Structure 1
Amino acid sequence: MIALALTTLRHRKAGFAGAFVALLCAAALVTACGMLLETGLRGTLAPERYAGAPVIVAGDQFERRAETDDDGESKVKAKALAELRWIPEKLAGALAAQPGVEKVVTEVTFPVGDALGHGWESAALTPFTLKSGRAPQKAGEVVVDARFSGGTLTAGGRTYRVVGVTEQALPSQNTVFFSTAEARRLAGRPGQVSAIGVFPQVPVKAEGAVVYTGAERGPVEFRDGDNARIRLTSIGGAMGGTSLLVAILVVVGTFALSVQQRQRELALLRAIAATPRQLRRMIGGEALVVSAIAGTLGAAAGMLLGGWLIGRFVALGAVPGNLQLVLSPFPPAAGLLATLLAAWAAARVSARRTSRIRPVEALGEAAAEKAGLPVVRLVAGFAALAGSVVLTVLLSTLTSESASSPVTMLTALAWSVAVALLAPLIVRAVVALPVRLPGTAGFLASRNVRAGTKRMASLVAPLSLMIAMTCTILFVQTTLGAAAQEQVGDGVRADFLLSPGASAEAVRQVPGVRAATEVLRTSIRIDLDRVGAQAVSAEGLERTLDLGVVAGSMAGFGATSVAVSTKAAEWYGVGVGDRLALSLGDGTPAELTVAAVYTRGMGFSELTLPYALVSKHVDDPRAGLLVAGGSRAALEKAAPGIAVLDQAQAAESGQVNAAVNYVAMGLIIGFCAIAVVNTLAMATSARTRELALLRLVGTTRRQVLGMLRQETALAVALAAVLGTFGAAVTLMAFSLGMTGSVLPSVPPLSYAGVIAAVALLALAATVIPARMALREAPAEAIGGRE
C-alpha cells in the first residue's frame, strides 16, 4: 500500500498540493510558537551594566509565599516584583570584610530623562572608562556616555555641566554619572543602594540580600526580563494551542475535500477487491509522505518565523533586546510531529466512510451525492455546538483579561468547529430556499450548489473560520480600548495632563491653577496576583479626577487608604472599611483601609493608592499631573520641556496598546487566509472536467466564470453570516464579562473591510484557477490530461 501511495502521489501532484501547503503552514506556526514558548522558559538575559562585576549582591527580586497543597506538602511560590527591591548600604562593609574579597562597589540607579543615572564610583561594574574629560567632583557636574552630545544636561529642574565622556555606551540604555553625593540625593533612598558589586568572584554571604553570578546578573539589571519571559511563555502557549487547533481544523477540511474529489478512484479500488484496511493504509501512507515533506520544510520556515516574531516583540518594547533566543531541536520536532499526527488522523477520518461501504455502494455514492450526514459527524457537530454554548456562558462570567483571553479564542474556534461539522446541513437548508439567481450563470450556479452541497460546505467552513477568527482578534482589542477610553474621557475632570517630570509644587503656583493631582502607574501584588494600580495625591483630587465612586468617598483618602474597583472588590471580597493586605511594587508589605469602591477600573487601574506611599517604592517616582485651571502657555513656562495635553488628548492616552496581540494573533489570521485560498483553489481545479463539459454543450466562457463568481459570492455570504454570528456571540460574552455591557465595540468600516477582504480573497482564489482551466481545450480537459 505504501508503494501504491507513492504512485498516487506522483500522478496526483495537483490534488495533494493543497494539503501540502496547509501542512507546511501548520508546521511553521507550531514551530514558531514553540520557539516563543521555549525562549520564555529557558531564555537568558545577558548583563550589560553589570558585565564587569563577577558577583552582584542585590535584593530578592521575587515575592515569595509558602503554601500547603491538598496533600499537606509545603512549597514556596515566587512571582517577580514590578519594581527594584533596594538593600542597606551598610551591607557593603560586611561583604568587604569577608575572605577573598578585594573590592566592593556600591551603586544607586535612578531615572534621568531617557537615561539611567548612577554615582561615578559604580563605573567599575561595567566597566566604564573615560574617553575625555574627568570624573564628576561637584554636585553640578556629570559624565555622560559616548552617545550623548551637548555640553549641559537638565535633570530634576537643575542644569548640570558635562565634564567627561566615557569610551563606552551600553546597547540597551543611556547612562549618566553624577558625583557620589549628588547621586545619593537624586536617588532619594538614604542609607540604601540598588546593588553591590564584589571583586573577584568568591563565595560570599549577604544577609537580607541575594548573591547573583553568571547569567543570573542579567535579570537583576533588566528587571522586566522575567515579566517579558512570562509574556513570551503566555503568548507562545496560547498562540501555539490556538494555532494547533486551527491547523487541525484546516487540515481535516483539506483532506476531506481531497478524499471527496477522489471518490470515484477509491470506489474503483473497492470494486477491484481492495479491502477497507488497504484503502485506509494507502490514504494514511499518502498523508504521512506529504506531511513528512511539508512538516520538514515547515519546521525550517518556522525557525525563521520564530526569530522574526522575537524581533518584532523587541521592536515593540515587549521584550528586552538582550533576551537570548533559544534554539533547540524541540520546537521543530514538535512542529513535525504535530503535522504528521494531524495529517494521518485527518486522512484516516476523511476516508473512513468510503472505505467501509460495499464496492457497489461506493461506486453509486461516487456518482451521486448522498443526503444526510454520518451519525458520528452529526453527533460531533451537536457536541461542538453544545460546547460552544458552554464556553460562551463561561466567558461571560470572566472579568479579568488574563482569564478571558484564552477562553475567548477557544470559544470562537469552538463555534467555527461546530459550523464546519454541520455545514452540509446548513448549506442544504439555505439552498432549499426559493431564491433564484439572475441570468444563465445564476441558473447554473443554483443548480450546481443544490447538487453539490458537500462541496459548498467545504468552501463555507474555512471562509467562516477566517471571518470569525479575524473579527474576534480585531474587535476584542477595540472593545477593551473603547471601554477604557470612554472611562478615561468621563473620569478626567482636569483641563490639562502634564507628562511625568514636572514639579507639582511649581505647577500649583501657576496663576489660575485650581488643583494639580500627581498620578503614577505601578502594579502591586495581592496573594501573589499582579494587579494594576495608580497612585494619586489627595490634594484637589475631586477637581481633577472622577473615578465613579459607588461606595464610600474619596474625600477622606489619606496615607493609609486604598480605593478599589468594583471588580477588585469582588475578586478579593472587600468593601468600604475593610483592611486590604498587599505588597507594593518593590515587595514592601502594606495593609490599607478601603476608603471607596469605584466603577472606572478599566480606565484608571483596579486599585488607587496614595502617591506619598507608592513613590518611595518605585524605580521612577516621576508622576504625571492632572491640572485643573490655568493656561497652556503658563503651564509650558512653569514646566519647560514637559508635554502639556488637553482633556481630549488625555482621554486618548488611556487607550490600550494591543500591538503585541495583533502581531501574535495576526499569524493565525494569515494561516486562515492561506487555508481559504488553498481550499477554493483545490475545489476549482478539481472541476476542470465539469467546466469543460459546460463549454462543450454551448456555455460561454463568460457564463462559466459568472457561474463560479455567483457560487463563490453565495459561499462568502453564507460564511459571513455564520462567521459573524460566531464572532458576535463570542464578543458579546467577552464584553459582558470585561466591561459589563453586552455590546462590543465593532467599528463598521473595520468589519466591512474584513468581509470585503475575505470576498476578494475568495473570488481571486476561484477565478484565477478557473481561467487557467478554461485555457485548455474542452475535449482535452475531459480526456483527463493533467
Structure 2
Amino acid sequence: MTNLVMKMLTHRKAGFAGAFVALLCAAALVTACGMLLDTGLRGAVAPERYAGAPVIVAGDQYARLTKESGKEKAKALTERRWIPASLAGEIARTPGVEKVVTEVTFPYAGFTAHGWESAGLTPFTLARGRAPEAPGEVVVDARHSGATIPGHRVVGVTAQALPSQDTLFFSTEEARRLAGRPGQLTAIGVFPQVDLTVRDAQVYTGAARGAVEFLDAENARIRLISLGGALGGTALIVAMLVVVGTFALSIQQRQREIALLRAVAATPRQVRRLISGEALAIGVAAGPLGAGAGILLGIWLHREFVGLGAVPANLPLVVGPFPPIAAFLCTVLAGLAAARLAARRVVSIRPVEALGEAGLPARRLPWSRIAAGLLVTAGAVVLTVVLASLTTEAASSPVTMLTALTWTIAVALLGPVLAVPFRVPGVTGHLARRNLRAGRKRMASVVTPLTLLIAVTCTSLFVQTTMEAATQRELDAGVRADHVIRGGTAADARRVPGVEAATAVLRTSVRVGLDKYTAQAVTPDGLGATMDLGVVAGSLARFGDRSAAVSSTAADRLDVAVGDRLSLLLGDGTPAQVEVAAVYARGLGFGDLTLPYALVSGHVDDPRGTVLVAGGDRTALERALPGATVLDHVVAIAPAASNAPATSNAPATAIAPATAIAPATSNAAVNYVAMGLIIAFCAIAVVNTLAMSTSARSRELALLRLVGTTRRQVLRMLRTETATALALSTALGTGIALVTLAAFSTGMTGSALPYVPPLTYLAVITAAAVLALTATAIPARFILRTPPAEALGTRE
C-alpha cells in the first residue's frame, strides 16, 4: 500500500500540490497563533528597575472573588494598587532586614517618574550634577542627557538608563506631591532576601518582580491569551474548511480513477486506506515545513504587536516546542479527516454507480449532505439571533466571526445547489454557462473559498467601522464643549475670562464583581454645559460625590435602576459604593459608567486627564495654561488618524478609540493585523483552488482547441466562468457579512444598520476579483502553450 501511495503522489503532482499548500499554510497559521497563546501562558518579564532589590513588597495587582464553591477567581487590575507608607517602618523592624527603599512611581510628561529616595533599587548613580532637592528640580537618565523638561530644571544626569523605560527623578517630597497619593507608596525594596509576611501587601521575588514592575506586561499576557485563543480557534475552523474543500476538489478530479479501482475489486477499506495514506504523506511533508514557517510568522507577528504598542518589548516571544508539535498534529489529523470526508461517497457507493458518477456527475446532492447543510444553516440562524442579543465586546467578539464562518460552512455544504450559473451573452458566455452547468461541484468548490474570503474580510473590517461610526455619532451629539485641554486643570481653565464651565475628565475602568466596565470620572459643576450623556432616566442634577450615572447597556447587565446602590472596585482595586443617579444612552461615546472625579482621581496611575471647556477663547486658554494643549471642539472629536496603543485586554474584534476624548479601548490596528493572517490564508485558498481547478482541465481545453476554439476564446470562456463564480461568491459573501454585521450592530449599537464604507467594500471586491482572475489566467496560459494533440496524449 505504501508503494501505491507514493506512485499516486508522483503520478498526480499538480493535484496533490494544492493539498500540500493548504496544509502547509494551515500549519503555519496554527503555529503562529499557538506561539502567541504560549507567550501569554508562559511568558515572563524580567525586572529592570527592581532588578537590584532581591525582595519587592507591593500591592496585590489582582481583583479577587471567592465563589460559593470556595474556588477563588482573579482578574488583573488596570491601575496600580498602592500600599500604606507605614509598612516601610514595620518591614525595617523585621529580623534579618538590613535596608528598605521606598518607591513612588507615576507617569509624567512621557517619563516614568520616581522620588530620588528610590534610586537605590536599580541602583541609579549620578554621572554628573546632584540629586534633586527643591520643587522644579529633576534628574534625567543617561539616555536623555541634554534634554529639557518644560517647567523644570535638570540638575543631574544618571550614569544608567533602563532598556524599556525613560526615567525621571524628583525630590522625595515633590514626587509624593505630584503622585497625589499622600501616605501611600508604590512599592518597597527589601535588602537582603528574607522571608517576609506583610499585611495589606504582597511579597514578590524572582521573575514576579517583573510582573509587578510592568503591569502593562501582565495585562499584555492576558491579551495574548485572549487573542491567541480567539485567533487560533478561528484559524482552525478556517483551515479545516479550506483543507476539506481542497481535498474535495482533489478527490473530485480523481473520481474516475477511484471508481476504476473499485471496479477492479478494490474494497472500500482498501480505497480508504489509500486515500488516508496519501493524506498522511502530504500532512507529514507539509506539517514540519508549515510549523517552521509558522515560527517565523509568529516572530513577525510579535514584532508587529510590539511596534503597535499592544505588547511591551520586554515581554519576549516564547519559542517553545508545543505550538509546532500541536500544529503538526493538527495538520496531519485535518488532512486525514478532510480526505476521508471528501472521499466518503465515492468510496461507499457501488462500483458501477461510482463509474457512472465519474462519467456523468449526479444532478442532485446526497440527502445526507443536504441534511447536514440544513442543520448547519439552522445553527447559523441560532448564532445570528444570539449575536443580536449580545451587548458587550467580550461576549460578541468570538461569536461574530463564528457566525460568519458557520454561514460559510452552510454555503460549502449546499454549494452545488446554490451554484446556479446565470445566462451570459455571446459564444464564450454560452460555453461558460454549459461548462458550469455540467460541473456544478467544480463551480461550488471555487465559490466556497471566494465566499469565505469576502465574508471574513468584510466582517473583520466592518465590525471596526460599525463601532467607530456609532461611537463617533454619540460623541458628535454628546460633546458640547468648545475646547478640549490636555495637560491643564479645570480650576485654571475656569479662571479664564469667557469660560462658562470646565469639566475635568479621567478615563479608567472599574469592576463589578470581576466584570470590567469602562468608566469616566467627571467634575459635576457645569457638566451639562460640556457634555450631554443622553439621560433617559433620573437626572444629573442628583450627581454628587457618591453617586454614578450608568449607561443603559450597563444598567441592563447589572440589573440596576435609578436609586439603586452599586458596589464596585475602582481601577486600583479600592472598593466603593455609589448610588445610581441617572441612566444614559450614549455609553459607546462616554463609557459604561460616569463617576465623580473626587472619587476616582486618587485611584488612577495618571490623574492628569482632559478638560472640557464651554466658552472662552482658545488663545486666552493657551496663554493662561502654559504647556497645555488646547484643541477646538471639531478637532478634538474628529476620528483619530491613527490609533493609540491599547490599554485594555479586549478580545480580537474589539473597537479602537475613535477620538481624542473617547473611552480608551484596544488598538484596532492589532485586530487588523491579527485577522489579516486569516484573510491572507483565505486569499491563498482562493488562488490554490482556482489554480487546481484550471490545471485539471487540460484535456477539456485541448478538446476545445481541436474542435476549432481559439486560444483567445478559451481564455475568454475561463474568465467568464470565473466572473460568474465571482459574482455568485460576492452575493453570498456580502450577504453573510451583512447578516452577521446587522446582528452584531443590533446588539452593540442598538441599530441593525452597520457602517460599510463604500470605497473599502469596493476595494475588497476588486482585490478578490483580481486574485480570482489571475489565479485562473496564469495556469490557463501555461496549459494553452502545449499543442492540443500533445495535451490529449499526456497523462495528468
Moved more, 163-172 or 588-597: 163-172
Matches within 5 A, 1:468-479: 468-479=455-466
Q: Which residue pairs with 1:712 in the alignment?
A: 722
Deviation at 1:629, TM superposition (A): 1.0
Deviation at 1:153, TM superposition (A): 2.2
Distance 1:748 1:182 in 2: 54
**Does the 8 A contact of 1:106 with 1:122 survive in 2?**
yes
SS at match of 1:68: coil
Distance 2:516 2:304 in 1: 26
Distance 1:108 1:36 in 2: 33
Matched, 1:549 2:535: yes
Moved more, 626-635 or 350-359: 350-359
Matches within 5 A, 1:473-622: 473-499=460-486, 501-622=487-608
**Does the 8 A contact of 2:217 with 2:311 survive in 1?**
yes
Q: Which residue pairs with 2:295 in the alignment?
A: 303
Q: Quick one: which amino acid aligns to residue 210 of structure 1? A: Q
Distance 2:145 2:484 in 1: 30
- Among 766, 771, 779, the alignment partner of 1:761 is 771
Q: Quick one: which amino acid aligns to residue 414 of structure 1? A: T
Matches within 5 A, 1:55-134: 55-69=55-69, 74-134=70-130
**Does the 8 A contact of 2:145 with 2:157 survive in 1?**
no
Distance 1:555 1:623 in 2: 23
Structure 2, unpaired ranges of 5+:
641-656, 659-664
Q: Which residue pairs with 1:24 in the alignment?
A: 24
Distance 1:393 1:521 in 2: 33
Q: Which residue pairs with 2:733 in the alignment?
A: 723
Matches within 5 A, 1:367-406: 367-406=359-398
SS at match of 1:153: coil
Distance 1:634 1:220 in 2: 43
Q: Deviations over 1:419-478 (max 9, x none)?
A: 000010111xx33xxx53222211111111111111111111111111111110000010
- Among 438, 445, 448, the alignment partner of 1:461 is 448
Distance 1:160 1:704 in 2: 77
Deviation at 1:354, TM superposition (A): 1.4
**Does the 8 A contact of 1:395 with 1:407 survive in 2?**
yes
Distance 1:472 1:44 in 2: 34
Q: Quick one: which amino acid aligns to residue 777 of structure 1? A: P
Q: Deviations over 1:246-269 (max 9, x none)?
A: 100100000000010011211221
Matched, 1:316 2:303: no
Q: Which residue pairs with 1:259 in the alignment?
A: 251
Distance 1:525 1:292 in 2: 48
Q: Which residue pairs with 2:284 in the alignment?
A: 292
**Does the 8 A contact of 2:489 with 2:504 survive in 1?**
no
Distance 1:92 1:149 in 2: 33
Deviation at 1:662, TM superposition (A): 0.7
Q: Quick one: which amino acid aligns to residue 508 of structure 1? A: R
Q: Which residue pairs with 1:690 in the alignment?
A: 700
Matched, 1:181 2:173: yes
Q: Which residue pairs with 2:648 in the alignment?
A: none
Q: Quick one: which amino acid aligns to residue 342 of structure 2? A: S
Matched, 1:191 2:178: no
**Does the 8 A contact of 1:151 with 1:161 survive in 2?**
no
Deviation at 1:528, TM superposition (A): 1.1
Q: Which residue pairs with 2:633 in the alignment?
A: 647
Q: Which residue pairs with 1:746 in the alignment?
A: 756
SS at match of 1:198: strand
Deviation at 1:84, TM superposition (A): 1.2
Distance 2:172 2:757 in 1: 55
Matched, 1:410 2:435: no
Q: Quick one: which amino acid aligns to residue 781 of structure 1? A: A
Matches within 5 A, 1:232-381: 232-381=224-373
Q: Which residue pairs with 2:48 in the alignment?
A: 48
Q: Quick one: which amino acid aligns to residue 443 of structure 1? A: H
Q: Deviations over 1:327-371 (max 9, x none)?
A: 221111111111111100111111121122222322222111111
Q: Deviations over 1:187-214 (max 9, x none)?
A: 2222211100001111122121110000
**Does the 8 A contact of 1:2 with 1:281 survive in 2?**
no
Distance 2:618 2:58 in 1: 44
Aligned-pair identity in percent equals 68
> Residues 87 and 723 (structure 1 numbering): CA distance in 2 closer, same or farther, change over 3 Å?
same
Q: Quick one: which amino acid aligns to residue 725 of structure 2? A: A
**Does the 8 A contact of 1:580 with 1:593 survive in 2?**
yes
Matched, 1:140 2:132: no
Distance 1:426 1:116 in 2: 60
Q: Quick one: which amino acid aligns to residue 611 of structure 2? A: L
Distance 1:139 1:544 in 2: 34
Q: Quick one: which amino acid aligns to residue 132 of structure 1? A: R
Deviation at 1:152, TM superposition (A): 4.4
Moved more, 3-12 or 250-259: 3-12
Q: Which residue pairs with 2:711 in the alignment?
A: 701
**Does the 8 A contact of 1:578 with 1:593 survive in 2?**
yes
Deviation at 1:149, TM superposition (A): 4.2
**Does the 8 A contact of 1:141 with 1:160 survive in 2?**
yes
Q: Deviations over 1:601-642 (max 9, x none)?
A: 011000000111100111100020111111221122222332
Question: RMSD over aligned Cα, in angstroms?
Answer: 1.2
TM-score computed with the length of structure 1 as normaliser: 0.97
Distance 2:313 2:582 in 1: 41
Deviation at 1:12, TM superposition (A): 1.2
SS at match of 2:335: helix
**Does the 8 A contact of 1:61 with 1:84 survive in 2?**
yes
Distance 1:302 1:118 in 2: 42
Distance 1:60 1:115 in 2: 24
Q: Quick one: which amino acid aligns to residue 709 of structure 1? A: R
Distance 1:522 1:603 in 2: 14
- Among 194, 203, 221, the alignment partner of 1:211 is 203
SS at match of 2:541: coil
Distance 1:418 1:153 in 2: 61
Distance 1:735 1:112 in 2: 39
Distance 1:180 1:722 in 2: 65
Distance 2:548 2:351 in 1: 77
Q: Which residue pairs with 1:443 in the alignment?
A: 430
SS at match of 1:594: strand
Distance 1:451 1:77 in 2: 59
Structure 1, unpaired ranges of 5+:
none
Deviation at 1:151, TM superposition (A): 6.3
TM-score computed with the length of structure 2 as normaliser: 0.96
SS at match of 1:208: coil
Distance 1:117 1:731 in 2: 44
Deviation at 1:111, TM superposition (A): 2.1
Q: Deviations over 1:97-146 (max 9, x none)?
A: 11221111001112221012111111111111111112222333211111
